[in-house]
Structure 1
Amino acid sequence: MNFTTPEASTNSTTQSTASLESLDIFLYSIGFLFGLPIHSYVIWLTITGTGSGVASEFFNLNLSVCEIGNSLTGLISVLSVNFSSFLTLSYFLQGLAITGRPLFQCLMCVERYLAVVHPVTFLKYKPLRYRVICSSAAWIITLGSCLGCMIILMLSIMIYAWFFSLQFLLFLSIQLFCLVTVLRALKQSGPGERGRARKEANHVKRRAFYFILITTVNMVIIYVPLILAGFFDILMKHNMLLLWDPAVVCYVLAGFVPPVLFLHRTGKLFCLCFS
C-alpha cells in the first residue's frame, strides 16, 4: 500500500525523502517476497480441500487473492518511480488495500459473528451460493474503489485521506463489534455441558477465544494507526512522515497474521517454513 505522494515528498527534506523511499522499498520487498508465496500457498490449500474446504474458507480465499494483488502493488509502485506509465496502475491498485482487504476481513468477522451468536441464521445462509453473492458484491465495490483511488490521487491527497480514513473507520467498527460480541459469547458456558463433554467444549471454546482475541488485536494494529495518521493529515493539512512510517509498517507486517493463523489452524505452518 502506497501512502506516499509527490506532494508529501516535496514537503519534506531530501534526507527524509531518501529515508522514506528506502522504507517503502523495504516494505514492498517484504510484502512481495513473503506475501506472494504465503497467500498463494493459502489459495492452493483451500482449493485442494485442506482445512474446512472451499465453501467454508471462501471469504478467506478471496482475501488471499486480494492480498496477492496488494503484494504486486508494491512491485508496481517501485517500478513507477522510474517508469511513469506504471503510476496510474499503482493508483488504481490502491483500492485493493483500502477497500478489498478490510471488506473481506469484515465479511469473515460477520460470518464468525453469525456462527457463534446466531447459529440458526448461520446454518440457513451457510451454502456456498450466498458466499459467492457476497464476494461478488465485495469485488464490485473494490473495483469501484480502485477507480475512485485512481481519480482521487490525481486530484488531491486530502480527499484521498478522507476516502480511506472513513472506510477504515467504518470497516473497523463493524469488525470490532462482531469480534467483541463473539468474545463475550465464547466466555459464557453452554447449557447442559457436564463432565468430559464440558471439558472438551471448554477446550474448543478456549482455542476459539484466543483465535478471535488475536484477530481483534491484529485488526486494531492494522487500522488504528492509519486512521489516526489520516485524520491528523486532514486536521493539520500537513503530511507527517513520523506518523505515516509506523502506520504503514503496522499495516504491512500485521497483514501477515491472518494467513499465518490459517496455516497454523490447518497444521501446515511448519510445512511452509521447511519447504
Structure 2
Amino acid sequence: MYSTKPLLLCLVCVERYMAVVRPHDYLRYKEGCYRGSSMAVIWCIYILTAVCDVFSSVTTLVWVLFVCVFIVNTWLSMATLKALKKPPPGDRVMAEMDKKGEHKGKTSKSRGKGGTDSKKRRAFITIAIIQAVLTLNYLPSVMCVPLKLVVSPRVFSCQYMPLVVAASTSCGYLEPLLHLHRLVK
C-alpha cells in the first residue's frame, strides 16, 4: 500500500497553492496546529486504506483516493502555475505606462523572459516537474484498476501489474535525479 505519498504530495500542493495564490490566508494558517491536524487526517486516511486492504482486497477505495488526489493536485498545480505566470502588480503598472508613453522619468525594469524573475521561473519549473512526476507515477495505477474488472485475474497480475509497478518504480527515481541534475548546474 503506497497511498501515503500522494496524500503528502497533495498536502504540499495545497500549501504551495496557499502560499502563491492566497498569501494572506497562508500567513494566517501557517501555524503548526493546522499542519498537525492535516497530518493527523492523512494518517487516519492511510490507516483506513491499509485496514481495508488487509481485511478485504478492495482496490476501489485506493483507486477513488488516487483519482481524488490526482484531480485536486492537478487543479491546484495549474492554478499555482497560472498565478506564477502573471507579472507582479508593479510590472503591470509599468507595462501600461510604457504603452501609453507616460514614463515621467521612471524606468521600466524587465525581470527576464516573460516578465518573471528567476525565483518565479524556478518555482514554475519545480511545480511542473512535480506534477509531471505525479502524473507519470500514479496515472498508470489509476488507469489499471478498471482493467481488473475486464480481464482475468491471471492476465491482470501477470501482464498489467508488472507494467504498472515498473512505471511507478522508474518514475519514483525521476524527481530526485532531476533535482540532482539542477544542483550540478
Same fold, judged at TM 0.5 (above): yes
SS at match of 2:6: helix
Match of 2:120 among 201, 205, 209: 205
Q: Which residue of 1 aligns with 2:168?
A: 251
Q: Which residue of 2 aligns with 1:227?
A: 142
Q: Which residue of 2 aligns with 1:184?
A: 82
Moved over 3 A (4+): 198-201, 235-239, 256-265
CA distance in 2, matches of 1:263, 1:133: 32
1:260 shift after superposition: 5.4
1:257 shift after superposition: 4.2
Pair 261,121 (structure 1): closer, same or farther in 2 beyond 3 Å: farther
1:191 shift after superposition: 1.2
Structure 1: any 5+ residue segments left out of the alignment? 1-93, 154-158, 270-275
Q: Which residue of 2 aligns with 1:138?
A: 42
CA contact (8 A) 2:49 2:61 kept: no
* Identical amino acids, percent of aligned pairs: 27
1:167 shift after superposition: 1.4
Query: Which of 1 and 2 has greater Rg?
Result: 2
Q: Which residue of 2 aligns with 1:165?
A: 63
1:242 shift after superposition: 2.8
Q: Which residue of 1 aligns with 2:10?
A: 106
- Code of the aligned partner of 1:248: V
1:106 shift after superposition: 0.7
CA contact (8 A) 2:49 2:62 kept: no
Q: Which residue of 2 aligns with 1:125?
A: 29
Match of 1:195 among 101, 109, 112: 109
CA contact (8 A) 2:20 2:83 kept: yes
1:253 shift after superposition: 2.6
CA distance in 1, matches of 2:32, 2:151: 47
- Code of the aligned partner of 1:152: S
- Code of the aligned partner of 2:12: M
Normalised TM-score (structure 1): 0.54
CA distance in 1, matches of 2:181, 2:38: 26
Structure 2: any 5+ residue segments left out of the alignment? 92-107
1:258 shift after superposition: 4.8
- Code of the aligned partner of 1:101: K
1:99-130 CA deviation, whole Å, 9 max, x = no partner?
21111111011111111111111111011221
CA contact (8 A) 2:85 2:116 kept: no
CA distance in 2, matches of 1:167, 1:235: 21
Q: Which residue of 2 aligns with 1:38?
A: none
CA distance in 1, matches of 2:9, 2:177: 15
1:264 shift after superposition: 7.3
SS at match of 1:192: helix
Q: How do 1:90-101 and structure 2 match up within 5 A?
A: 94=1, 97=2, 99-101=3-5
CA distance in 1, matches of 2:137, 2:126: 16
1:255 shift after superposition: 2.3
